[in-house]
Structure 1
Amino acid sequence: MGFSNRYGGLRNFLFAKGMDLLMSISKPTKKWSKQDIDKMLALLPIIEAEGFQAASWPKREPVEVNGELIQHVPYPEYHSVIDQFQKFCYETSCFIEPYEVLPEDPAGTEPGTSTFNVLKNASDMSHATVDQIRRYFILCNRAERFCDGAIEGAIENGLIPAALCQLRRLRESM
């Protein structure tokens, strides 16, 4: 039995027991609730505050194991608001399948990693829809998994703040 069958079996077991998985490629996407959008927007004033530092990169000292020095690969220690951001992306109705093309995406957008290129700058963010923004947030979290500091970079280059500002504008008209 392959991994997908075992995973599918586990998923079916959990659903049969009335347990809901928070995220799954096969789970239909729910609408992002106003309450969950408001939770995310509550982070914006902290992120926009003067002097906000999303992460620090402490020096990691080598550790001796069995007479050999082991060097740590650097990784960021995130501000608690970034931890909340990541939690909100996966533990609220924010989650959306990140690699699917949305109806409002530009023509020629292909399913897969090309969805990350839909919102590349602040100008793109100013025209983004709610679903494009939530997908961008999920993609930022996926990027962090494979590239330490990706979320810090998206804050420093202004994309996450721009996405949150656009989300605030969209929320006002809901």
Structure 2
Amino acid sequence: MTGMEELYVDKIVVHMSVGESGDKLIKGETLMTEICGGAKPVRTIARRTVPAFGLRKGQVMGCKLTLRGAAAESFLETSLAIIEKKISSQQFDQNGNFGFGVEEHTDYPGQSYDPQIGIYGMDINVVIEKKGVRIARRSAQKKKLPTKQHVRKDEAVSFMKERFNVEVVE
């Protein structure tokens, strides 16, 4: 592969939904900051009312943060170890991105169960890209991204197998 066709982890978005604001959300944000190496999360807001879950539109219900670069890769290594480096092929989309969940924050190193806090789970979404996608996103002289710069599902699967030793289960 040439330099422009090499895949890399562009970003990782970590999301934690606690379902309500207040003390529970603050504890969740603190946990996320500790687990993700000091990055500060932003709060997420419900887009619609869902009475079955007790959510109202506009209510703060969780937090998320974005990791890039070396911090993203080290967090991904740790998170993949928790799920025993197994990912279903159905977790990949057609653009090569994938996501998985970690059921308990206590699985991360340095975290232990505290009855005052409880147990929180997280959704982890990974965006894989090739170099050169900036041409489609920049504000000046925006161009269409060439087909060879799009990441396909099979490329992302092989990248994860080679780079992170992940077993992709059918």
TM-score, with normalisation over the residues of structure 2?
A: 0.25
- Larger-Rg structure: 1
TM-score, with normalisation over the residues of structure 1?
A: 0.24
- Structure with bigger strand share is 2
- Structure with bigger helix share is 1
